[in-house]
């Protein structure tokens, strides 16, 4: 989840990774000394088997945790981990003896492959500010203030959006039901009000589903010419002394959350304001994840990790790659929201504190780059090691676990890193016939997959990982072509 209007593409910010090898991957993730645990955030997601009640029949096994050819694999396990197309839903199969009681009716576990997560991060090409302005000048697109009675949302749309929404079959779909009584709004140490868990919340739990109060296009305010036009309009609320200039704009900018683009005459990126969701404070160790669904016209927020009762529920106003940059760089990015982050990771960086968090995040950042850029190569190398009976796989396992430990220390669940490492660990466990561990890792991968289930049951687009959805007008991005 990211704030709507001020988001930008920062994927280029990572330092370039150089040599892609599993050895590098393992060494990158060597564990540092443990960081003091902040009382605000719960530790231990690595050790929790949060899906114990799941039937372990895998319909969508991690692509890399699959191989009927994996030596030593029992037939039924090999069959259960056979890769299928991401959207295919195979009938559930019993995993193996330990869960022989499992029946197909109990459902199947959908597991995203790291590749599928990365694919879902890719967005359509965004057309440039100039292209948009040209269309606007020709009158090809116009802004329309409107109201959508079926969803009770005020909208500042570009032409064509309302018509396309109303023409959608069965639109709007009913909104999914969120868990009952799991949060409350209260005073936050981070700033102002915030949302707090009133009970323990499991990774993947649906915490809030909400329709927006207001939707506006990112171009409305970010593009200078349009801003000037709007400012030139009369304002009956203007207090005349300049101190309270555009308070409404400020509120919209502070509270908008990106819902990506909506179909219209021009596919413009939009941001939405919500009654509850807009109350989420930011943390560099976020605990929730949000996704937008056009069909139900709602925003769903799920737990990104296990959350303890009383813990503040936080999301990130920064994107994933920004979260893995040093504290000073994150602070610079957050300046556009006009606040200094008070989350544990940032306050640990105050003078007198260690810079362990920065080091951890740098390692995770490098690991993420390797995974994204060279995942396939690494997987092949890992497979070669696993397939060679003379190789000791313990070193591999240690490297994978180290990365997970770093994430745990930072309370930062990076989905791509998790999917990759859980899958690798599952693959090793299968090769060494350790079905208990294989089960553990595949279920953890399934937990991560939960985050990608949109309210319509499909795979949600991953709004947090925009390749190109920059701050419109500042970065020449913003309109999906
Ligand atoms: C969308 S609002 C979040 C809800 C807000 N706290 C409220 O009372 O409505 C964003 C504002 O909350 C505050 N805030 C959010 N996260 C923060 C953090 N990590 N550290 C300090 N202030 C934060 C900042 O003032 C920011 O502009």
CB of 194 shorter than 6 A to ligand 1: yes
pLDDT level of residue 432 (50, 70, 90 thresholds):
confident
Q: Given the CA of residue 341, which atom of ligand 1 is nearest to it?
A: 20
Q: Rg for the chain (alpha carbons), in Å?
A: 23
Q: How far is the CA of 281 from the centre of ligand 1 (A)?
A: 5
pLDDT, one tens digit per residue, over 5-31 is 444 433 333 333 333 344 333 434 444
Cβ of 345 closer than 6 Å to ligand 1, yes or no, is: no
Distance from residue 279's CA to the centre of ligand 1 (Å): 8
190 ligand 1 Cβ < 6 A: yes
The rounded mean pLDDT for the chain is 69
Tell me if 186 CB under 6 Å of ligand 1. Answer: no
Question: Would the pTM of this model clear 0.80, i.e. be above it?
Answer: no
Give the per-residue pLDDT at 229: 54
Q: Check pocket membership of 192 for ligand 1, CB cut-off 6 A.
A: yes
If you take atom 22 of ligand 1, which residue's CA is the nearest one? 191
Q: Ligand 1 mean position to 188 CA, how many Å?
A: 9
From 6, 186, 191, mutation site for ligand 1 pocket: most ligand atoms within 8 A of C-beta: 191
Which DSSP symbol is given to 37? P
Q: What is the pLDDT of residues 96-125, one digit of tens each?
A: 222 222 333 333 445 555 555 554 443 444
Q: At what angle do helices 415-431 and 394-410 cross, to 10 degrees?
A: 150
Q: Is the CB of 98 under 6 A from ligand 1?
A: no
CB atoms under 10 Å from CB of 125, counted, come to: 12
Beta strands in 169-266, from DSSP E residues, in sequence order: 183-187, 193-197, 206-210, 214-217, 257-261
pLDDT band at 172 (very low <50, low <70, confident <90, very high): very high
Residue 59 Cβ inside 6 Å of ligand 1? The answer reads no
Per-residue model confidence (pLDDT) at position 291? 85
Tokens matching residue 110: 């959908």
Domains of the chain: 129-316 (2.170.270.10), 358-468 (no CATH)
DSSP state, residue 139: T
Of the ranges 40-49, 345-354, 425-434, which is most confident?
425-434
pLDDT computed for residue 342 by the predictor: 94
Q: What is the pLDDT of residues 235-271, one digit of tens each?
A: 565 555 544 456 666 777 788 898 876 877 776 778 8
- DSSP class of residue 232? H
Place of tokens 């309210």: 455
* pLDDT bracket for residue 350 (50, 70, 90): low
pLDDT tens column, 265-311: 776 778 899 999 999 999 999 999 888 888 899 999 999 999 999 99
Strand pairing report for 214-217 and 153-158: parallel
CA of 152 to the centre of ligand 1 (A): 26
Average pLDDT, stretch 467-480?
27
pLDDT for residue 64: 33
Tens digits of residue pLDDT in 356-381: 899 999 999 999 988 888 888 888 88
Q: Residue 196: pLDDT above 90?
A: yes
For residue 458, how far is its CA from the centre of ligand 1 (angstroms)?
32
Query: Tell me, what's the ipTM?
Result: 0.99
Kindly give the residue spans of alpha helices, DSSP state H, lying in 50-100: 75-80
Q: Is 104 in the pocket of ligand 1 (CB under 6 A)?
A: no
Rounded to whole angstroms, how far apart are CA atoms 437 and 422? 10
Of 309, 51, 308, 306, which Cα lies nearest the Cα of 202? 306
pLDDT at 439: 86
Which residues are 270's β-sheet partners? 217
> How many angstroms is it from 282 CA to the middle of ligand 1?
7
* Minimal-distance CA residue to ligand 1 atom 18: 341
How many other β-carbons are positioned within 10 Å of the β-carbon of residue 240? 7
For the Cβ of 256 lying below 6 angstroms from any atom of ligand 1, the answer is no
List C-alpha distances in Å: 477 to 161, 178, 199, 258.
Answer: 19, 34, 41, 14
Say yes or no: CB of residue 325 within 6 Å of ligand 1: no
Residue 447: which pLDDT band, with cuts at 50, 70 and 90? Answer: confident
Q: Does residue 39 line the site of ligand 1, with CB under 6 A?
A: no
181: exposed, middle or buried (Cβ count in 10 Å: 0-12, 13-18, 19+): exposed
- The dihedral built from the CA positions of residue 43, 46, 47 and 52, taken in this order, carries a sign that is positive
């Amino acid at each position: 989840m990211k704030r709507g209007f001020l988001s930008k593409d920062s994927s280029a910010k990572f330092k370039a990774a150089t040599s892609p090898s599993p050895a590098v991957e393992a060494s990158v993730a060597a564990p540092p000394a443990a960081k003091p645990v902040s009382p605000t955030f719960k530790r231990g997601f690595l050790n929790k088997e949060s899906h114990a009640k799941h039937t372990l029949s895998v319909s969508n096994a991690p692509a890399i945790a699959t191989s009927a050819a994996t030596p030593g694999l029992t037939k039924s396990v090999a069959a259960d981990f056979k890769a299928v197309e991401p959207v295919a839903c195979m009938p559930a199969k019993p995993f193996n003896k330990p869960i022989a009681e499992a029946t197909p009716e109990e459902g199947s576990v959908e597991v995203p492959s790291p590749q599928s997560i990365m694919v879902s991060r890719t967005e359509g090409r965004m057309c440039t500010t100039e292209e948009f302005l040209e269309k606007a000048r020709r009158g090809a697109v116009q802004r329309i203030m409107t109201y959508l009675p079926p969803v009770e949302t005020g909208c500042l749309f570009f032409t064509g959006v309302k018509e396309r929404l109303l023409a959608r079959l069965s639109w709007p779909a009913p909104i999914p039901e969120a868990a009952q009584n799991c949060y409350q709004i209260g005073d936050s140490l981070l700033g102002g009000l915030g949302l707090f868990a009133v009970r323990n919340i499991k990774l993947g739990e649906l915490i809030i589903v909400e329709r927006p109060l207001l939707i506006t296009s990112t171009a409305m305010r970010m593009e200078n010419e349009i801003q000037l036009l709007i400012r030139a309009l009369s304002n009956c609320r203007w207090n005349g002394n300049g101190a309270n200039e555009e308070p409404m704009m400020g509120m919209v900018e502070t509270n908008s959350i990106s819902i990506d683009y909506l179909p219209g005459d021009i596919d413009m990126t939009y941001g939405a304001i919500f009654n509850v969701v807009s109350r989420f404070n930011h943390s560099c160790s976020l605990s929730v994840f949000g996704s937008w669904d056009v069909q139900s016209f709602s925003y769903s927020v799920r737990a990104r990790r296990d959350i303890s009762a009383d813990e503040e529920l936080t999301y990130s106003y920064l994107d994933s790659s920004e979260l893995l940059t040093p504290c000073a760089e994150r602070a610079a990015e957050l300046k556009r929201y006009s606040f200094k982050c008070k989350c544990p990771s940032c306050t640990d960086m105050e003078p007198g504190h260690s810079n362990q968090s920065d080091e951890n995040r740098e390692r995770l950042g490098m690991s993420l780059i390797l995974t994204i850029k060279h995942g396939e190569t690494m997987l092949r190398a890992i497979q070669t090691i696993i397939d060679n009976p003379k190789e000791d796989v313990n070193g591999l396992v240690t490297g994978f676990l180290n990365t997970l430990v770093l994430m745990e220390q930072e309370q930062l669940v990076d989905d791509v890193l998790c999917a990759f490492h859980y899958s690798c660990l599952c693959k090793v466990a299968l090769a060494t016939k350790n079905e208990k561990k294989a089960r553990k890792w595949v279920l953890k991968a399934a937990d991560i997959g939960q985050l990608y289930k949109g309210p319509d049951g499909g795979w949600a687009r991953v709004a947090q990982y925009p390749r190109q959805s920059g701050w419109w007008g500042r970065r020449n991005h913003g309109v999906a072509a």
